Amino acid sequence: MRTLAKALTVASAAGLLMFSAVPANATQQDEDNYWLGCQTYNTFKFRLYYNSNSGGSYRDFGYAVGNFGAVEIYGSGTVAYKFCGGTGAGAGQGVKNNAASARNEHTSYGACVYFSSWFNGAKDSLQPAVPTPVSKNLVNTYNENASFQWC
């Protein structure tokens, strides 16, 4: 009986450790999106543009973002995603409610841009990039975009 109680205690502790690691991983993804989204060497497959027809400044994303206007970055507090500096019209502007077009280069997943935070409301969908990347002007979320996820 003692062995069973010990085993359950160890299993419970391991489960708590696994559960507590999830937020750390999500924070790492947020930080990667934030810090690497303007680096030319990133391998992110989704891009939002400030202007229509894939014009103006851009911002790359590799992971889902629940709210373009408020992401928690360790050591920096809550910050908003901004279009990359030096990349054209809209550089330095907030991404939330400012994107007019998007591009999906992921060959396995579609990309969805949502009107509201946390993947709610109207959305624009971009199919997987088979055989070539998919670009389109946003219709349902044109300058009213608040979140993104692979769909």
- Tens digits of residue pLDDT in 30-64: 778 888 899 999 999 999 999 999 999 999 999 99
Return the structure tokens found at 68.
């373009």
Return the structure tokens found at 114.
């949502």
Per the listing, tokens 């629940």 go with 66
- CA distance between the termini of the chain: 47
pTM summary value:
0.80
- Tens digits of residue pLDDT in 101-115: 999 999 999 999 999
Mean pLDDT of the chain: 84
5: left (phi over 0), alpha (psi -120 to 50) or beta: alpha
pLDDT over 50 (residue 146):
yes
What 3-state DSSP class applies to 81?
Answer: coil
Confidence grade of residue 27 (pLDDT, cut at 50, 70, 90): low
**Residue from 91, 97, 124, 122 nearest 110 by CA:** 124
Mean pLDDT across the stretch 126-142? 96
How would you class 66 by CB atoms within 10 Å of its CB: exposed for 0-12, middle for 13-18, buried for 19 or more?
middle
pLDDT over 90 (residue 71):
no
The reported pLDDT for the residue numbered 35 is 85
Backbone angles phi, psi at 46, to 5 degrees: -120, 135
The reported pLDDT for the residue numbered 32 is 83
